[in-house]
Amino acid sequence: MTLPGPNREQLSTAEEVAEEQIVERIFEAVIEQRLPPGTKLSESALCEAFGVGRMRIRRSLLLLASREVVELHSNRGAFVARPTAVQAREVFEARLAIEPNVARMVANRATAQDIAVLARHLELESQAHASGNRRDAIRLSGQFHTMLAQIAGNGVMLRMIKELITRTSLIIGIYGAPGVTNCRDDEHADLIDALRKADAERASEIMAAHLRHIEERVDLTARPGVGVDLISVFGGRGARGA
Amino acid sequence: MTLPGPNREQLSTAEEVAEEQIVERIFEAVIEQRLPPGTKLSESALCEAFGVGRMRIRRSLLLLASREVVELHSNRGAFVARPTAVQAREVFEARLAIEPNVARMVANRATAQDIAVLARHLELESQAHASGNRRDAIRLSGQFHTMLAQIAGNGVMLRMIKELITRTSLIIGIYGAPGVTNCRDDEHADLIDALRKADAERASEIMAAHLRHIEERVDLTARPGVGVDLISVFGGRGARGA
DNA sequence: GTTGACTTGATTGTTAACAATCCTGCCGAA
DNA sequence: TTCGGCAGGATTGTTAACAATCAAGTCAAC
């Protein structure tokens, strides 16, 4: 289950933080909703946070923008993306097109050990849910989908799904009711059950239903960003968190 | 059928070539196999070719690398990517997971006008094939798949498919028999037929079969790149040409 | 008191010079 | 003749200073 990501060779001197790591960490922060949509990502702040030069930060921001996780506004800076309702629909549609096939692939290929790993992960998810640890719950439920792509053994699709999951977190942050988490772990449990039985068709259907449930939990008719922008203008630095 | 691509706003001053355009043009050159796998993309040469500063070229190369269309080797420069056999399999698998769904979506959504546009495009394809215009034939057959994603109206999937098509051209350039074109236009014709009848299931199956045929036409057991590198060393600057 | 323009400060975008690395050709020794 | 080391040149990577743009706050006029 090695990461099939591109050129792992140039990780360079372990001391320095490569831009790939910066991208990864910002991805995670967005998934965990520690960086809400619209948050300004100032270069100098990021330079300090990661202890690297401005150039590396700019490269990282460009990469994040190419994944549509941040928006670059000319002469104004980088902001965490605020997907429109149209984009949100596209993201869900894309996930619905891709991930059921991933589930099918995993059902056909997964070893007993793979499934054991998934089951152990599900355990962590349930614990996080039970203990009300929202941030862990969100991260773990996203990781579950990522792990499926990893087990499927397709680096291309893994990269796509990572992007889609991250953007889904943004979408839920904008259009979702506050407090709802991204996935319900019982559906993950059903999926593991189908995988264990190598029932590809049922795994695919469970995944499709699962994604539809996630989509149903957001209200794309709500006016999104304008209000958020005003709020931030009025001093509510919802940036957030604790 | 407007391009759903991201931030079209900052196209800036028409005079300058935005990096998005540079990326697009390199994508096209790779698709048309004017830039064979392994070709060195030196910064200074690209600066001259596009008449822009080095910074913009570097940004473009970074974007291309993030799509795995070029490889960046530290202190050595940028090269047109040479997908490994493993990556090639992943690309085909991803296309097989995504594009049949695109075909399904198009079958459900396409207007008569959309289909007319596709039919007109197919006409051009056939002409290029008949007249032996290899470069046009390749470009047009790739565009056919892109147009489907456009009609499907999903910008996310459109971007993914563009990447996959471009990488497919690289794969065929490495593992394909010389002279074979990417797609057979008669299969495109079959697909249009199914779309016209709004037969989503058949459209999906035709697309799947089509992609499998493309995959069958390459020999992933052949040793890939080493030879290509030697060729370029021996003076064959196949980079393109006239 | 409110609206408008203006100035100031900060942030981003670009350019240019510098440093580091790698490839090429040359030379000498085995 | 062939192999290894050694400059020279070229290309990439980085840093720093500069220019341009935008946001905010101030002040004046209505």
3-state SS, B44-101, equals: HHHHHHHCCCHHHHHHHHHHHHHCCCEEEECCCEEEECCCCHHHHHHHHHHHHHHHHH
Q: Is residue B210 part of a domain?
A: yes
Residue B39 sits in the same domain as residue B95: no
Query: In CATH, what number is assigned to the domain containing residue A34?
Result: 1.10.10.10
- Asked if B67 and B160 count as a contact pair (C-beta separation under 8 A), the reply is no
Q: Within a domain: residue A238?
A: no
| Residue bearing the bigger pLDDT, B180 or B132 | B132
| 55-94 on A, CB < 7 Å from strand D | 55-56, 74-76
First vs last Cα of chain A: how many Å apart?
Answer: 34
Distance from CA of A10 to the nearest CA of B (A): 7
Contacts for B5-10: CB closer than 8 Å, 24+ residues apart: B5/B155, B5/B158, B5/B159, B6/A65, B6/A68, B6/B155, B7/A71, B7/A72, B10/A72, B10/A73, B10/A74
b/e code B173-192 from CB counts within 10 Å (16+ = b)? bbbbeeeebbbbbebbebbb
Give pLDDT, residue A224.
54
Residues B43 and B74 occupy one common structural domain: yes
Last residue of a domain, one of B37, B61, B82: B82
Q: Report pTM.
A: 0.87
Residue B13: predicted pLDDT: 36
- Residue B233 pLDDT > 80: no
Tell whether A76 and A100 lie within a shared domain: no
Regarding whether B202 and B116 lie in a shared domain, the answer is yes
State residue A233's pLDDT score: 27
pLDDT of residue A154: 97
Residue B111 has pLDDT above 80, yes or no: yes
Yes or no: say if B33 and B239 are a contact pair by the CB < 8 Å rule.
no
Mean pLDDT, range B58-77, rounded to an integer: 96
Domain presence at residue B239: no
Domains: count for chain A: 2
Closest chain A C-alpha to B82 CA, distance in angstroms: 12
What pLDDT is recorded for position B16?
58
Task: Give the gap in angstroms from C-alpha B184 to the nearest C-alpha of chain A.
Answer: 25
Q: Decide if A151 is inside a domain.
A: yes
* Judgement on whether residues A71 and A102 belong to the same structural domain of the protein: no
Cβ proximity of B196 and B227 under 8 Å: no
**Residues 14-53, chain B: which have Cβ under 7 A from strand D?**
42-44
> Of A34, A50, A82, which residue sits at a domain end?
A82
Domain holding B48, by residue range, is 20-82
- Does B137 fall in a domain? yes
The pLDDT mean for chain B works out to 85
Instruction: Summarize pLDDT for B117-175 with one digit per residue, the tens.
Output: 999 999 999 999 899 888 899 999 999 999 999 999 999 999 999 999 999 999 999 99
Q: How far is CA B31 from CA A205, A218, B171, B203, in A?
A: 35, 39, 10, 25
Contacts of A93 in chain B (CB under 8 A): 105, 154, 156-157
Q: What integer pLDDT is reported at residue B177 of this predicted model?
A: 74
pLDDT 10s per residue in chain A (242 long)?
Answer: 433 333 333 333 334 578 889 999 999 999 999 999 999 999 999 999 999 999 999 999 999 999 999 999 999 999 999 999 999 999 999 999 999 999 999 999 999 999 999 999 999 999 998 998 888 999 999 999 999 999 999 999 999 999 999 999 999 999 987 766 777 778 999 999 999 999 999 999 999 999 999 999 998 987 654 333 333 323 233 333 32
pLDDT higher for B2 or B84? B84
Q: CB within 8 A of B5, min separation 6: which ones?
A: B20, B155, B158, B159
> What is the structure's pLDDT at B3?
34
* % of chain B beyond a pLDDT of 90: 74
Q: Is residue A140 part of a domain?
A: yes
A27 pairs with which residues across the strands?
none
Q: Which residue is nearest to nucleotide D12 (CA to C1')?
A: B75
CA distance A91 to B6: 13
Lowest mean pLDDT among A232-236, B112-116, B199-203: A232-236
Q: Are residues B40 and B135 located together in one domain of the fold?
A: no
Model ipTM? 0.87
Residues B127 and B207 in one domain: yes
Report chain B's terminal Cα–Cα distance, integer Å.
Answer: 33
Whether A120 and A180 map to the same domain: the answer is yes
Q: Is residue A225 part of a domain?
A: no
What pLDDT digit, counting tens, does each position of B75-105 carry? 999 999 999 999 999 999 999 999 999 999 9
3-state secondary structure of A32: coil
Check whether residue B95 and residue B210 sit in a common domain: yes
Residue A162: helix, strand or coil by DSSP? Answer: helix
Residues A58 and A142 occupy one common structural domain: no
Question: Are A78 and A91 part of one and the same domain?
Answer: no
Residues B207 and B155 in one domain: yes
Contact A4 B94 (CB under 8 A): no
Sorted by sequence, the CB contacts under 8 Å of residue B242 that are 6+ apart come out as none
Q: Which nucleotide has the shortest C1'-to-CA distance from A77?
A: C12
CATH, residue B128: 1.20.120.530
Residue A235: inside a domain, yes or no?
no
Residue that terminates a domain, selected from B50, B67, B82: B82
